[in-house]
Structure 1
Amino acid sequence: MTCIERASPALNQILLKLYSAEKPMEIDHHLYEFGSAEYHILSEASDPRVAFLSISTAPLCPGVLATNELSSYTIEMIKALCPAVVEIAESRREGYQLTLKLNLTKIPRGKDYIKVIKEISTVHSVILSSQLKEILWNFNSDNAIKGMHKPIKLVYNPREPFFVIRQPQQIIAVFPIRFAEKSDVIISTAFFQELVDVGSSDRYAKAPPCSWSAIPPPELRGEAFEDLSTNGGFVSFDISSHHVDGKRLDKTVWNLLNFNAYVRYHVKITKGFIQRRMRKRLENLVEVLHHRESLEQDNEQITRHQDAGCSCTKRLVRSSKYSILKQRWGNLGRKLKRIHFRLKIQGFGRFRQRWLRLPKFSSREYTKLD
């Protein structure tokens, strides 16, 4: 995916390491970067004050710009990068379009050296931006190149070309969108529809109007079939003169160069967000299921304890009834034995033994009294 930052992260790291080294370092390093960019960094230990940076990049527009040459406008833009540090070497390295001579002793000390080295690392983005600026700057000029109304194919990434159509009053930038996965197509389609709705609101009236279509726009008729075969549709921006006026030109150019990267970044972030939400939702569901299972186990244990308690209670109640009756009859018998009669009745003893005999109770059987 295209790096949205202007500075090359790898080149910036190598230059910082070379500048911050305590001892002179000898570097002969090749570096390849997205967008068909190639760097060669050369530094000799015999002369640590100077380093050479060679750059080779494919032209942004192969049909209009020369392959092995940079325009005078691009050279001037590179010279203005860091005039005190950067100098264009008279003889460039073989196989490279440009060789820069870096005077490391003129890089300021302190925290400012990080800013200067980062600015030097933007040389590739300066080359690409200057090439697109040349196409956009004089889009309404009478001295425009021949075939100004034909689409101009711009190749920042060989797999993601986009088109610029020059018209008398505006420039139309068309981006064919391609994805490898169907889920990416669904997310990007929703994003484009939202982008069109937001761009047509009054709040963003100054922004270039945006449109999305599943089929190629009429301006791309006659282009190669492989350039028009997409699964994500076509996104178009209508760029007017005030969008390329003054400082807005640089911002417009950089946004066009990184639109494909921004779309893919948005899709990647959205997929990550959806996956995190799904994972969180799954964890919550698993937690609810575990909680419900634990509640069911607790209810089963409570039911078992209640059943066991009821059976014990029944046995306890049954045994308590027997013991209470036995105790009452025992008390009654003891009371009758303590009774003393004043008058002695002949034969009452036999009568008492026969008719007032107390029944015997056991814990298992008892006689119901009427």
Structure 2
Amino acid sequence: MACIDRASPSLKHLLLKLYRAEKSIEIDHHLYEFGSVEYHIQSKVSNPLVAYLSISIPPLCHGVLSNNLSPHTIEKVKGICPNLVEITEPTKEGYQLTLKLNLNQIPRTKDYIKVIEDISTVQSVILSSQLKEILWNVNSDDAAQGMYKPIKLVYNPREPFFVIKQPQRIIAVFPIRFREKSDVIIATTFFQELMDVGNSDKWTKAPPCTWSAIPPPELRGEAFEDLSTNGGFVSFDISSRHVEGNRLDKTVWNLLNFNAYVRYHVKSTKGFIQRRMRKRLEDLAEVLHQTNSEENEQTKEVKQHEGCRYTNKLVRSSKHTMKQRWCTLGRKIKRIHFRLKIPGFARFRQRWLRFPKFSSKKYTKLE
């Protein structure tokens, strides 16, 4: 998913297209991304070496952070690429920040991809800076009185989460919602495995993870629509060692994208299951096809064998029938000679009806 990467893929693609263009092109393009983020990129043919990038990002916490970016966040944006990025004043109407990109300062070596990718991370820099300010400054008065109120953070309007700042730790609670029941089952199994792995000795340095089907005690008093879920609540206990030095940026970005990571895991798991089921179905179909082929061959051989037996039987039966017919015909022919039987005619024929016998001696030819 695009939101897991720090660099915006759509913004990176558009900047690469603008940089690689052989001819001067004019661009006036709007981009919308995860988290209600909007980009507006402008480039004119008259000045192709300069592009203007305007960004609109709603604050993570309404009522705590203003719509305008803080000086700390602006300094972080300036540090992305000091030679290439300049903040212009005043900003474009409807946007919180407008950057001037000097494309002629981008190196012509292979490093230009890395530079453009760094420019595309401006969204993650702003969001991370906002969350850091919330963790540093919010609830300082309540904490002194022993009161720790949850802070509702909205990175995606449909997926808010809560942060509770305490003296020795920070608790992050994520209400999980899904539309399909199959997604809930996969996510619940994932959370249970995540708890087992997180509580093992191998991952003692990672923030402990807990999952519960009911809201944790820290969220008592929150709005009902924020606590109505079908996937339960996932909590992380973040201690001071998880926000020291370079770990702070990684921890903040992981918190912002935990919901997106869970949905990515569920989607990948469903795809894996579907591929396995499809492969299993193909194997079963192949076995059935092979069995049917063998049965067809056996049936064909049996039919051929039965056909030969039938032919031989037919030939034998035909010979026997023909023989019987010839015998019957012979008897009929014999009866045809003397159909009238005269008494004593046989003796009369033997005595009087005799053919003369000729001598077998040779005769001489008369001259």
Q: TM-score range by the shorter chain?
A: 0.7 to 0.9
Tell me the alpha carbon deviations over residues 313-348 of structure 1, each in whole angstroms, 9 at most, x when there is no partner. Answer: 7789999xxxxxxxxxxxxxxxxxxxxxxxxxxxxx
2:55 partner amino acid: I
Say whether 1:50 aligns with 2:50: yes
SS in 1 for 2:62: coil
Change (3 A) 1:34 1:65: same
- Structure 1 equivalent of residue 245 of structure 2: 246
2:193 partner amino acid: E
Tell me the alpha carbon deviations over residues 185-223 of structure 1, each in whole angstroms, 9 at most, x when there is no partner. Answer: 111111111111111111111000001111111101111
Distance 1:149 1:201 in 2: 29
Distance 1:283 1:11 in 2: 41
Change (3 A) 1:145 1:99: farther
Q: 1:258-273 alignment to 2 at 5 Å?
A: 258-273=257-272
- Structure 1 equivalent of residue 292 of structure 2: 293
2:194 partner amino acid: L
- Structure 1 equivalent of residue 365 of structure 2: none
TM score, norm. by length of structure 2 = 0.81
1:207 partner amino acid: A
CA drift of 1:304 comes to 2.9
SS in 1 for 2:245: coil
CA drift of 1:2 comes to 5.5
Distance 2:311 2:27 in 1: 91
Q: 1:31-70 alignment to 2 at 5 Å?
A: 31-67=31-67, 69-70=68-69
Change (3 A) 1:228 1:205: same
- Structure 1 equivalent of residue 149 of structure 2: 150
CA drift of 1:175 comes to 0.6
- Structure 2 equivalent of residue 12 of structure 1: 12
Say whether 1:95 aligns with 2:114: no
Preserved contact between residue 15 and residue 117 of structure 1 (Cα < 8 Å): yes
Structure 1, unmatched stretches of 5+, are 320-370
Change (3 A) 1:83 1:144: farther
Preserved contact between residue 176 and residue 230 of structure 1 (Cα < 8 Å): yes
Distance 1:70 1:258 in 2: 21
User: RMSD in angstroms over aligned alpha carbons?
Assistant: 2.5
Larger Rg: 2
Distance 2:111 2:145 in 1: 46
CA drift of 1:17 comes to 1.6
Tell me the alpha carbon deviations over residues 232-254 of structure 1, each in whole angstroms, 9 at most, x when there is no partner. Answer: 11111000000000010011111
Preserved contact between residue 139 and residue 149 of structure 2 (Cα < 8 Å): no
SS in 2 for 1:283: helix
SS in 2 for 1:135: helix
Structure 2, unmatched stretches of 5+, are 319-367
- Structure 2 equivalent of residue 86 of structure 1: 85
- Structure 1 equivalent of residue 344 of structure 2: none
Preserved contact between residue 30 and residue 40 of structure 1 (Cα < 8 Å): yes
2:270 partner amino acid: K
CA drift of 1:137 comes to 4.4
Q: 1:199-210 alignment to 2 at 5 Å?
A: 199-210=198-209
SS in 2 for 1:3: helix
CA drift of 1:167 comes to 0.9
Distance 1:306 1:78 in 2: 87
TM score, norm. by length of structure 1 = 0.80
1:28 partner amino acid: D
Preserved contact between residue 208 and residue 243 of structure 1 (Cα < 8 Å): yes
Aligned length: 320
Distance 1:281 1:146 in 2: 62
